[in-house]
Each structure stands twice: as C-alpha cells, then as structure tokens.
Amino acid sequence: MLTLISFLVTLGILIAVHEYGHYRVAVACGIKVLKFSIGFGKPIFTWRLKGKDTDFSIGMLPLGGYVKMLDEREAPVDPAERHLAFNTQPLKSRAAVVAAGPLANLLLAVLLYAVVNWSGVQEPRAVLASPVAGSLAERAGLAGGEIVQKAAFDDEELETVRSFEDLRWRLTQGALDGRNVQLALGDAAGASTRTVVLPLGKLDAADADAQLFRKIGIVGPWTAPVIGDVMAGSVAEKAGLKTGDVVRRIGDLSIVDGQQLRETIRAHARSPGADRGNMVPQRWQVLRAGQPLALEVTPEIREENNVAVARIGAYVGAPPEFVTVRYGPLDGLWQGAVRTWEVSALTLKMMGKMVIGEASLKNLSGPLTIADYAGKSATLGWTSYLVFLALVSVSLGVLNLLPLPVLDGGHLMYYLWEWITGRGVSDAWMDRLQRGGVAILLGMMSIALFNDVARLVG
C-alpha cells in the first residue's frame, strides 16, 4: 500500500509541476487556458477558481496531464478572442510556453536537492570496504578500510568527499565519461596517507549497467565483520554463531570487513565438492565478548537468479558509520543546481550511449521500477524520498526536452525550424513526424516495461 501511495504522490507532484509550468507561462503571455488536467480520462474531480476561465480537473488515469489552450487549430475561435489563442502568439511566446513544463521539473529538482542540503542528510562515511577480487580497485592497491578524503578527475583539483554517496556519484560520472578518478586517502586521525588512481577510462562504456560498481570494485562502505540477527534453525545457529560475534578469519583468510565476509560466504558455493552437494565446513575464528573462539560453519547452497550462492541464515555485517551532510543557504541552493545539472547531463549521456549501442537498453526503467523505488525511498525517510523525487523530476524534464515530435522537445524543434526558415512545418510533415515520434516513444515504453518485469521477476 505504501508503494502505491508513494507512486501516486510522486506522479501527482511531478505532473502537476510540469503542467503548471505550461499554465503559468501561458497566462503570463496572455493566452486563454481552457482546461488544466492532472491525469487523463473521465474527470473524478473538477473545480474553477473564482474569476478564472480555466477548468481544473483530476482524471482517472494518473499517467500524465495536459493544459488545453484556446487554439484555432483545434476549434473555431471567436474573432474577439483571437488575440488570446495560442496559435496567434509570436514565436518566442509559444516556445516559452512549451519549454516551461520541462524547465519547471528541473527547477523543482533544484529546490528539492536544496531542501535536502539545508536540512542535512545522514549518509555513510566514505570508508572503503574490501574491493571485489580482480576489480580495478584491487589492482589499484586498495585493500579496505581506507578513508577517502578527496577525489578528482584527471588533471582537476582535488575536492573534499563528504560521504560515500558523494564518492559513488563521482565514480558513476567517471565511468560513464571514461575518465580516471584520483582518490586522496587518509587515516582515522585525518592525516593524509597516499593517493591512488582508479583507471575508469579502461571500462568499456557498455559496462555502465547494474554491475558497474562490482567492476570498479567499490560496492559499499566499510562495515564491521559482525554477525547480526541469527535465524532460528539456520546454519549459523547450528554452528554456534551468536549475535555480536566478530569474525576474524575464515580458513587462512583474514577478514577485513562485512563486505569481504559476505563475499567469502557466497563464494563457498564454488568450493571443491560444492557442486556435488558435499559442502566442506569453513573454519571460522571469531571474537565473542573479546575472547577468541573457533567454530566450524557449513553454509548451505541456494539458487539465486540461476546462480549458486552459499548462505548461513544470519545478518552479516554491522551498519556503516554515518555522517551528517549539510550545507548553508547559498551553498545548499548552489549544490542543488549543480546536482541537477550533473544528473541532467548524465541522463543525456546515458540515453546517447543507448542509442548508439554503447550502453545496455536494460538501463531503461518504467513505471513499475519507479513505483518500487518510490515505496523503498519512502520507507527510508522523507529526505530519501525527496532525493528520489528530485531524480525522477530531472529525468522527466530531460525526457520531455528530447527532440521527439510528441514531446515538448519536438515542438521546440518545430519552432526552431520556423525561426530558421520563417515558415512553420507543413501539416503533411507534421503528421509523418508525429507518427514516427509515437512509434519511437511506444518502443521506449515497451523496452522499459519489459525491463521492469524482468527486474521484478528476476
């Protein structure tokens, strides 16, 4: 229920802001607005503000909205009101009305990011977990437990890394741009220790998928290798593991953090004999209340996404250390604008790479994934939900600015042609372009929906 409510609230806010952008600029340009609707289909609620000519309504299908303006191309217009019609306005006014919707979504994102920056958000500290075996991070000499103090792209000045999420964002940008990232590492006392370079330029652009961070080798922040809740009747309980046990070694391998502990347990499914169902017990050395203890643990094999993994039936790893990231009034607003610009640019780059085949179409997401993330972010708190809302708002703004005929960007493309040639697009070409735009949009929606179902089923 929370997922559905969060999804509907998300759509309602984003659609209302988008359409209000069109409406507000249309009114400012002296255009008569006949109807403002959030959702399509039969209206379930309609009202009119005192002294206004616009009917406001909420439709039954909350998957979009529209602003209907007086227009001679849609219906006859009283000569006395012809100056109020959209089609009679100068080119700059028509372009401003069309562009106002996507820009309203981008401005909303700036404000949402700014509110989060002002209020402060709890994020994991930028302490690195043990790197994935064979990854770029491992080959760069990272071992786990390092504190990232600063980061920068090639030939740029090092900037302070405020949290692990800040680091993750920089790594995402570097991977998609093919740019190496320099990390300045330090110790718990704040002293600088060394600098390493992650050669993200070696990553193929097609690697920008769900497994991106495993290929880089930095999956999550450092966590203590502690056993959490133990399920009754589980392998962990039978082996004698208890909540609070700190794992020091498994066999001959020293355990650095929770990430390495999870990977070591999972990888036991690939140990000799595991494929025949004869799991070899692992020799664990743990600390319990400061006292060393030796245990034998035999993980059980489970199939997950057609891959055999080993499980022990206990929560593995303590929560990471958190820091509060907060900005002042001007800094918070500026950082909100910067993040909106960066996310917009990254979205366009990803779309471009998918078009030319350099990135997987699996990155496209549809309403099911949005609904899923809306519910998850809502359970994490209002700041997480605001960040999610800002991200989707940016995506909606950028998507609508694409030069597809059925989108706002397509209409702006028509106006660009009119500005260059001095004449509008002919009705015949308009019809062809509209049909092509619908076909492309339906194709994108179909792929996104297929990806949604595949993620949920998988």
Stronger pLDDT, 371 or 417, i.e. the higher one: 417
Distance CA 14, CA 10 (A): 6
pLDDT tens string 283-297: 999 999 889 999 988
Q: Are 62 and 12 in contact (CB under 8 A)?
A: yes
Stronger pLDDT, 111 or 305, i.e. the higher one: 111
| 45 CB burial (10 A radius; 0-12, 13-18, 19+) | exposed
Residue-wise pLDDT for 189-236, tens only, equals 667 778 999 998 877 655 555 577 888 889 889 999 999 898 998 888
Residue 138 has pLDDT above 80, yes or no: yes
Instruction: Write the single-letter amino acid at 78.
Output: D
pLDDT tens digits for 141-183?
998 888 999 999 887 889 899 999 999 988 888 888 888 999 9
Return all residues near 47 (Cβ < 8 A) that are at least 6 apart: 55, 56, 57
How far from chain centre, in Å, is Cα 61? 25
Least confident range from 100-104, 264-268, 312-316: namely 264-268
What burial letters (b/e) apply to 203-230, b meaning 16+ CB within 10 Å? Answer: bebebbeeebbebbbbbbbbbebbbeeb
172, 346 Cβ separation under 8 angstroms: yes
DSSP state for residue 32 in the 8-state scheme: P
- What gap in Å lies between CA 223 and CA 318, rounded to an integer? 6
The CATH number given to 121-221+320-325 is 2.30.42.10
Q: What is the mean pLDDT of the chain?
A: 83
DSSP string for 238-287: HHT--TTPEEEEETTEEP-SHHHHHHHHHHGGGSTTGGGT-PPPEEEEEE
Can you identify the CATH homologous superfamily of domain 227-319?
PDZ domain (2.30.42.10)
Query: What number of other Cβ atoms are within 10 A of residue 14's Cβ?
Result: 22
Cβ-based neighbours of 420, under 8 Å, separated by 6 or more: none
Tokens read off for 176: 């998609």
* pLDDT tens per residue, range 41-78: 888 888 888 777 888 998 887 778 889 999 888 888 88
pLDDT of residue 431: 74
pLDDT at 276 over 50: no
Domains 121-221+320-325 and 227-319 belong to one CATH topology: yes
Provide the CB-side half-sphere exposure for 409 (13 A, CA).
12
Q: Which of 192-196, 285-289, 355-359, 364-368 has the highest mean pLDDT?
A: 285-289
Burial profile 417-456: b = 16 or more Cβ within 10 angstroms, e = fewer: eeeeeeeebeeeeeeebeeebeeebeebeebbbebbeeee
> What H or E segment, with its residue span, contains residue 178?
none
pLDDT confidence of 382, banded at 50, 70, 90? confident
Only one residue has tokens 């004449």, namely 423
Exposure class string for 156-182: b at 16+ Cβ within 10 A, else e: eeeeebbbbbbbbbbbbbbbbbebbbb
pLDDT score recorded for residue 372: 63
pLDDT in the model for residue 305: 66
Predicted TM-score (pTM) of the model is 0.80
Q: Is 288 buried (19+), middle (13-18) or exposed (0-12) by CB count in 10 A?
A: middle
| Distance (Å, whole) CA 222 – CA 320 | 6
Q: How confident is the model at residue 106 (pLDDT cuts 50, 70, 90)?
A: very high
Taking the domains of the chain in order of start, what are their residue ranges? Answer: 90-120+329-458, 121-221+320-325, 227-319
Helix (DSSP H) and strand (DSSP E) numbers for the chain: 12, 16
> How far, in Å, are 212, 298, 314, 376 from residue 302 at the CA level?
24, 13, 14, 25
Element spanning 31, H or E: none
The answer on pLDDT for 242 being more than 80 is yes
Asked if 55 and 39 touch (Cβ cutoff 8 Å), the reply is no
Catalytic residue among 19, 74, 237, 300: 19
Percent of the chain with pLDDT over 90: 28
Q: How far apart are CA 116 and CA 97, in angstroms?
A: 29
Distance CA 281, CA 298 (A): 4
pLDDT at 77: 86
Mean pLDDT of 122-136: 89
Q: Using one digit for the tens of pLDDT, what is the confidence trace for 74-93?
A: 888 888 889 999 988 999 99
State residue 210's pLDDT score.
55
Task: Match 């899923």 to its residue by tokens.
Answer: 372
pLDDT confidence of residue 452 = 53
The whole-angstrom separation of Cα 269 and Cα 302 is 9
19 a catalytic residue: yes
- Better-predicted residue by pLDDT, 433 or 414: 414
Beta strands in 110-223 (DSSP E): 121-124, 147-153, 159-160, 181-186, 192-198
Mean pLDDT of 246-252: 90
Q: What is the pLDDT of residue 375?
A: 66
